[in-house]
Chain A
Amino acid sequence: METLVLILGVLKTALAVADAASPVYTFLTSVVSRLEAAQAENRDLTAEDWAYIDQLAAQYLTQLKGYHSVTAALLALAPAQPPTGT
């Protein structure tokens, strides 16, 4: 369970140093409230809960990809290309 502790630690550390006015603080607070609600009501996370977090993940990933150098971007694509020849 060490990795679980690590993840909790990551979130706690982020919360501890985040400015209460920052978007990250707002995001983490929302995530925590969604988890707490799911646990309190003994239910799964809802599709809306997942959509909220997935949308942000995709947003950051898209922005990060914009900084990939051309060479690195091509190398990253290479394994996904179909094999050539017979």
Chain B
Amino acid sequence: MRIVIVGGGIAAVYIANTLMERDGTSEVVIVSDEEHPPYDRIHLCKLVEDCNCVDSIELELHPKVRLELNQKIDSIDTEQKRIFSENAAYHYDKLIIATGSRPKSLFDISGIENAATFRSQKDCEQIAQGMIGKNVVIVGAGPIALELLDTLMRSDAPKSITLLVRKGYLYSASISREGLALIQGIFEADPRVRIQFNDQITDKEIQGNRISKIVTKGGEIGDPFVIFGVGIDPNIPFARGILECGRGILVDARMCTSDENIYCVGEAAQLREGGFVAGRVKECILQADVAVAHLLGDANSLFKEEVSIDGLKVGSFLFADVTATDFDPNDKENENILISHGDRIDQYIVNHDRLKRFIGINTNIDLLALKRLIETDSPIDAAYLYSNRLMSEYGKLICSCEGVHELELVDIIRENAVTSFADLKEFSKAGRTCGRCKQDVCAIISATPVDPAEAARLRAEKEAAAQAAELEKVRSRIEKYNRLHPRNQLNVENFHEALESFEMSREFNRWVSMITASMHLHPQFEEVVEEGVTQLNKIPIIWLELADCTGNSEAFIKTSHPKVDDLILKYISLDYHELLMAAAGDQSESALENILRNDSGKYLLIVEGAVPLGMDGKFLRIGPKGETGVDLLRRVAKNAAAVMAVGSCAYDGGVVAAAPNPTGAVGVAEALGRADIINLPGCPTNPINIVGTLLQYIMFDEFPKLDANNRPEWAYGFRVHDNCERRGHYDADEFVREWGDEGAKKGWCLFEMGCKGPYADLNCSLVKFNEGTSWPVQAGHGCFACGQGKIAFDSYANNRKLPEGTHEE
């Protein structure tokens, strides 16, 4: 798939990088109208101070992303799926528009040397060179204008700086009078700075390509350099008339525009519902996540506006702002609560006992706690605010995107002996999302002395505490299972006795280590994993075989392969299993009825095989009364604590549902119409993955983290291809081209022979089969992605490469 992103800012880069991380098979192209590779606009102020530092604010881009610079897009052909610039055309399968916005100016300033907007690297160059010795006029009062003012104050270049404010406030109409006076005072401490409220440009005098004089309501300013910071318009002229637009390009909650192949995020986009336009990096990134997820096939992810936390850090004060999504500045019921002390002002805007906005100057309130207050819609008690108990114990908030406070950051730095911003990456994302606080983070890093020995000690201490807590939790879980099912008499000692009998103790220990590692747990967990195993028999389990081949049972349980896994499964209270039960016919039926009656709500149901629905389910009947497979499944699943679908047939019908699906077979989840079935596909499923999932259930009282297809991530979160022992040969272009050729003898990559490892999400390459003896790729055959379900048997179960472009994620 070819994904084209139009735009050159943080959102474009973020989307490109996320796409490359999540799906390396797509081709990703960024088309930007700037001459520089994407950089971080948040740091434009820095550029004004030093025009040559554009490299230092350049955004990190995945090396495989193609970058097309100096290409201003003029139009889109949605039929042909092409976009056009003046001299080039780009084809796309999916298009993402992240062009942001264009700054407004109050009159046409094109061609004028001493007037600029403040948006791009070029603007910064112009400002830095043009302001020397001039009377700088900044038009605007918003955060960007203030930040620019602060930057220019630090430079000796301007002769004077006038901030021209159309109304009577700075930053926001909601700011308190006290707050306004405070920041005005801070700015005007510089004798060059003048803030003119209720003033605007009424006229100007232009000589050649220079403005020689501007006239405002309050007077005249000669020899000016004018900078507009008065607002923005979505940068979407190329899309108007082609896509449905309001102020921005209209999108739904999936960030999809009126054309299903085109997405739009950030300041260029306007949500159909509510008309929201993102203005902050965090929101843009949330929107980008939604667009990427939807593009890669996750239909469930929707963008939701969040409580925003914003900050403004200028030279001599710090601004913090938390705003509820439903804050209405014009609501007459709004009530201001002001708590000030010296140069600190905390302003709460409350409406009917609910906090709607907080504006803090030099505050150290816990902003995340305020955010939670708003999110949970908790009532606010004014007395509570006055007592000021929300003081963050971690110091002031440094990174509002990631919610990292100063002292937390200091802890992270000390514990990990972090000495540079690059070092920090591994431990915290602070300073990396919007980048605004990067300089603050760097300052804290350089101000925090670190000692590697002390860091190691602190780390060990913290880890030990966390692990002790976790172990305690797990033990109490196991204790609970001990109390359940007293009729199962097997205890830990007997289990070990049995292991001894089979001379399996050593192998058992190895097995425990292996399964612990496979579940991504620390080796210290081996002990509890072992305890968990001994408790497996406390859960009653019903194993139903439907339209199956017994392959999963065979792999797992049958005595013909008494591997350690099987033996352990003997200790599960496997109360009903057609293959294993000595009882048959009526007796087996009554065994089933007993569990359904006595262990209702407690038993686990494991299902192997597809569910034939054709002919009213009569392709499969079980039991003396000839109950159909689907009826039996429904009856048994009804009161199960959880249902696990084991094998590809139970997942989505597997081979049984392969075309033309003669028996109308479906997977367990579809047959039951339930979304909570845990899927463990594979043909057969590796026993390790079943045991690991059961162990997790016992130890943590929950099933492991599942992916979008309800498969445990720890086992299905890998592509076979990525962890393949032959991967090095793929990268080196060394392929088997014919069965038995030199490459085959040397164990080269099987991709050209139709290996479907790149399309298979499973851990086979890590755990292998039959006690780690081999797996299909090692046997030179290649993978056919058996765990992907029926598609494997219709498209992958062959030794041919997929035709170009047929693979869909």
Is chain B found bound to chain A in the same assembly?
no
